Amino acid sequence: MTYQLTVVVPVYNEEDNLLRVEQVFKDYFKIADVPTQVLFVNDGSKDNSRQLIEEICTRSNGFQYISFQKNCGLSAAIKAGFDYTKTPLVGYIDSDLQTTPEDFNILLKYIGEYDLVTGHRADRKDSFVKNMSSTIANKIRRAFTHDGMDDTGCPLKIIKTDYAQRIPMFKGLHRFLPAMIMLQNGKTIQVPIRHFPRIAGTAKFGLWNRLIGPLIDCFAYLWMKKKYINYQVGKKSDA
């Protein structure tokens, strides 16, 4: 099969969710609008996640993995997933499945015209503190980046791979994916998708990660924007 979309699934201590990820994606493969595969990125998990991932990839078609030697963080896991993708399109979803792979079909409707399509969790099923801190962080980030995104942290995205692989990722920059595509003169759009409560496992981000951290990262983004090199070749010699 010639796959068109690789969905990156970062994993850090998510052993309670992985069998559900396997089944949900096996169901999605049957209805996906384009041939789709999954790339697990094991971010140095300390529980049984690595073994479960290897078992899933051995017994089920459409699943691959890479595994870090130690924990490097979400941005590194996403970046590695982008780098190891060989399909024209790359997606991203969290292993907690608070979003559903079925909604990739919604995003795929827009990826022809746009270079990044991200979900917008219009009806988030999170705690008040989590929702409020994310809302504040998004307003701060939007003031710095002017990317027009209301929910840049939504863990459901599709990007054209050539754009994704040019993103100069560093820790925390996963919150700025739309802005980084715009630095490449790419087109972005957000569309409403469904959101569900977390069923198993624990959240990896607290108040610091959602509020204070993103504020600091905004200054890193401004530095990146000032120094970013962007060029287009108008003509070249024949081979």
Asked if residue 234 is part of any domain, the answer here is no
Q: What is the CATH number of the domain that holds 90?
A: 3.90.550.10
User: How high is the pLDDT of residue 226?
Assistant: 77
Residue 178, domain extent? 5-227
Helices (H) and strands (E) in the chain, counts: 9, 7
- Each of the 239 residues of the chain gets a pLDDT tens digit; together they read 899 999 999 999 999 999 999 999 999 999 999 999 999 999 999 999 999 999 999 999 999 999 999 999 999 999 999 999 999 999 999 999 999 999 999 999 999 999 999 998 776 655 555 655 566 666 666 666 667 676 777 889 999 999 999 988 777 777 888 888 988 999 999 999 998 766 765 655 555 555 566 677 777 777 777 777 777 777 788 76
Asked if residue 67 is part of any domain, the answer here is yes
Neighbouring residues of 145: CB distance < 8 A, sequence distance ≥ 6: 176, 178, 179, 182, 218, 221
Asked if residue 237 is part of any domain, the answer here is no
d(CA 210, CA 26) in angstroms, rounded, equals 32
Asked if residue 235 is part of any domain, the answer here is no
Asked if residue 117 is part of any domain, the answer here is yes
Q: Is the dihedral of CA 17, 94, 220, 212 positive or negative?
A: negative
Q: What is the pTM of this model?
A: 0.82
Asked if residue 208 is part of any domain, the answer here is yes
User: How high is the pLDDT of residue 169?
Assistant: 75
Of the candidates 84, 9, 1, 85, the one whose C-alpha atom is nearest the C-alpha of residue 35 is: 1
Contact 231, 166 (CB under 8 A): no
- DSSP 8-class letter at 33: S
Question: Virtual CA dihedral for 106, 173, 126, 114, nearest 10 degrees?
Answer: -20
User: How high is the pLDDT of residue 209?
Assistant: 57
User: How high is the pLDDT of residue 55?
Assistant: 98
Tokens of 219: 């200054």
Neighbouring residues of 3: CB distance < 8 A, sequence distance ≥ 6: 35, 36, 37, 62, 87
Asked if residue 167 is part of any domain, the answer here is yes
Asked if residue 238 is part of any domain, the answer here is no
User: How high is the pLDDT of residue 124?
Assistant: 66
Tokens of 114: 């746009």
Tally of domains in the chain? 1
How many CB atoms sit inside 10 A of residue 232's CB?
6
d(CA 239, CA 217) in angstroms, rounded, equals 43
User: How high is the pLDDT of residue 19?
Assistant: 97
